[in-house]
A and B are shown apart, each in its own frame.
Chain A
Amino acid sequence: MSAVTIRNVAKLYDGVPVLRDINIAVDAGEFCTVVGASGCGKSTFLRMLLSEERPSSGEIRIDGEPVAPEPGPDRGVVYQRYSVFPHLTVLQNVMLGPGFLRAPFMARLFGAKARALRKEAMQYLDAVGLAAVCDQYPAALSGGMQQRLAIAQALIMRPKLLLLDEPFGALDPGTRKDMHELLRRLWRDSGMTVFMVTHDLQEGFSLGTRVLVFDKPPLSDASAARGATITYDLQLKRRPSADAIWGPAHFKEIQENVQG
């Protein structure tokens, strides 16, 4: 059974089609990267997986069940910005989710339970290399550190599905490389299913086990108003690494297709 099954999904905004004919089945543990031109509906696709938006038609199933009508802890998210809470320290940000789960009324734990949670949270902060700054506020962190925090905050909920919308889009190339290493390691260790939207083809190919290319039909086409769909669904043979998996020629072809 597939972790995520999407059948005939289309999305219209005010009658204007943005996405159409989305059909894929993704197995548990796959790392799907979503690439495509700006404005073609990548974020919309992610928002539907998150239940932030509903498909106009078609259905999304997670582990065989129709997806819940609102966001929940089975699907974690990391945005490019606004992913961490500015009024909470690094440690408090990570402790937030389990606090919600375990303390329905107070929304935070006290005493021994809080100490146990703090230990657990520190392990996650260790894993993303933020243990040293656990008492700082996010405003004092660099962009890369904030994204590490956002990832730790999402991971502590042990989501089945991790959704990332251009998580490294605002980072400099060096930091981005470190983040790739980190994300790849966390994904391997956790075995969760990942969807990551990116503008950067190179990033998409080097990180994913599967690349979904979203594209609109050419403007001259009569169906131009029908929205974008998945034009390439590339199952990468090997487990991903920094080495190029696809030949330069093929890469170039897709690059032209996506940006043309």
Chain B
Amino acid sequence: MRRIINWHPSRAGAFMLGAVPFILLIVLYLIFSDLRLAANPNDKLLPAPGRIWDTIVRLAMVEDRRSGAILLWRDTGASLMRLFIGLAAATLAGLCVGIATGLIPYMRSTFGPLIAIVSMVPPMAVLPILFIVLGLGEVAKIVLIIIGVAPFLMRDLAIRVSELPRAQLVKAQTLAASSWQIVLRVVLPQIMPRLIDGVRLSLGPAWLFLIAAEAIAATEGLGYRIFLVRRYLAMDVILPYVVWITLLAFAMDYLLRLLKRIICPWASDGASRR
């Protein structure tokens, strides 16, 4: 009898195994939805697939009577805009601060303690301050994402930079490199993989902060819609929105993984890296 850790499924087998939990979840949903609707045809908790489909069609293809816009696309556009601006700003800040504090001793001494403390502030606790200071508009929501994500990226990158072998930095100096040239040709390319991984890990928190901010004060956005229709127990809206948000997050993660493989070809199959 071989040990269980040595049993490997085939490629097709792995794919099918992966599909099983999804199918099970769908079947379970269908069964319980059917049971509840049989008991009470007006039950809203687990709407029938047909009902959900009708709602999707209405949200994604028909103009809203009041606003004249197609709701799903308008919400998606608003949310993605906030998310992208927030993540881009956080990434840039993480990159600049991470490299500076990781590479330059004086910067590390000056800003290291501050970053270590600030990154412990729970971003949601700061949200009221943001709304008070920045108003209820777009800026407060974007800043919340930045506050939530940037400190992690700064610290993660600073660690990666300080982990670069000391010998590499000395070597670069014997090749006549200035500090700036070291950043450009030695440090930046080598922390790119970690930066992309850091952003991937930050996608979850970024969505969390976005939806939280939208739930509290917004007039459009995926999170706003979910919390708006919650009052009417409109599960036929909430469920497709949740699935849609999940798909968006998954796609972004996938694209980042792809990006990493394209711009850091040495990192993906370089077997002997440590």
Stretch from B1-9, B13-21, B169-177 at the A interface: B169-177
**Interface digits, A51-88 against B, CB 8 Å rule (1 contact, 0 not)?**
01000000000000000001111011101011101111
Is A96 a contact partner of B185 (Cβ separation < 8 A)? Answer: yes
Nearest opposing residue in chain B for A99, CB measure: B185
Whole-angstrom CA separation of A82 from B181 in the bound complex: 19
Q: Sort A-B residue pairs by CB-CB distance and give the 6 closest, nearest first.
A: A97-B175, A139-B270, A71-B173, A73-B176, A107-B181, A82-B167
Given A77-B171, A86-B273, A107-B184, A100-B178 contact (CB < 8 Å): yes
**Which residue in B177, B190, B270, B271 is a CB contact (below 8 Å) of A100?**
B177
Is B272 a contact partner of A154 (Cβ separation < 8 A)? Answer: no
Is B181 a contact partner of A100 (Cβ separation < 8 A)? Answer: yes
Taking the complex as formed, is A111 at the interface, i.e. its CB lies under 8 A from any CB of chain B?
no
Is A85 a contact partner of B168 (Cβ separation < 8 A)? Answer: yes
Is B270 a contact partner of A85 (Cβ separation < 8 A)? Answer: no
Taking the complex as formed, is A33 at the interface, i.e. its CB lies under 8 A from any CB of chain B?
no
**Which residue in A82, A106, A139, A140 is a CB contact (below 8 Å) of B171?**
A82
Question: Can you list 30 A-B pairs, Cβ within 8 angstroms, ordered by A?
Answer: A50-B174, A52-B170, A71-B174, A73-B175, A76-B174, A77-B174, A79-B171, A83-B171, A85-B168, A85-B171, A86-B273, A87-B189, A87-B264, A87-B266, A96-B185, A97-B177, A100-B172, A100-B175, A100-B185, A101-B176, A104-B178, A106-B184, A107-B180, A107-B181, A107-B185, A137-B266, A139-B266, A139-B271, A139-B272, A157-B175
Residues of A within 8 A of B167 (CB): 79, 81-83
- Count residues of chain B with CB under 8 A from any CB of chain A: 28
Whole-angstrom CA separation of A140 from B62 in the bound complex: 56
B78 → chain A closest CB, angstroms: 38
Whole-angstrom CA separation of A106 from B178 in the bound complex: 11
**Interface digits, B241-274 against A, CB 8 Å rule (1 contact, 0 not)?**
0000000000000000000000011110111110
Given A50-B170, A137-B270, A96-B175 contact (CB < 8 Å): yes
Nearest opposing residue in chain B for A71, CB measure: B173
Taking the complex as formed, is B186 at the interface, i.e. its CB lies under 8 A from any CB of chain A?
yes
Nearest opposing residue in chain B for A161, CB measure: B174
Taking the complex as formed, is A17 at the interface, i.e. its CB lies under 8 A from any CB of chain B?
no
Is A77 a contact partner of B170 (Cβ separation < 8 A)? Answer: yes
Nearest opposing residue in chain A for B184, CB measure: A107
Taking the complex as formed, is B122 at the interface, i.e. its CB lies under 8 A from any CB of chain A?
no
A109 → chain B closest CB, angstroms: 12
Interface residues of B in 147-177 (CB under 8 A from A): 165, 167-168, 170-177
Residues of A within 8 A of B264 (CB): 87
B87 → chain A closest CB, angstroms: 24
Is B176 a contact partner of A159 (Cβ separation < 8 A)? Answer: no
Whole-angstrom CA separation of A82 from B168 in the bound complex: 6
B25 → chain A closest CB, angstroms: 42
Whole-angstrom CA separation of A140 from B270 in the bound complex: 7
**Interface digits, A123-167 against B, CB 8 Å rule (1 contact, 0 not)?**
000000000000001011000000000000110010100000000
Whole-angstrom CA separation of A83 from B170 in the bound complex: 10
Whole-angstrom CA separation of A107 from B272 in the bound complex: 27
Most buried by A among B168, B170, B178, B186: B170
**Which residue in A81, A86, A104, A153 is a CB contact (below 8 Å) of B175?**
A153
Whole-angstrom CA separation of A52 from B174 in the bound complex: 10
Taking the complex as formed, is A108 at the interface, i.e. its CB lies under 8 A from any CB of chain B?
yes
Residues of A within 8 A of B173 (CB): 70-72
Whole-angstrom CA separation of A79 from B172 in the bound complex: 13
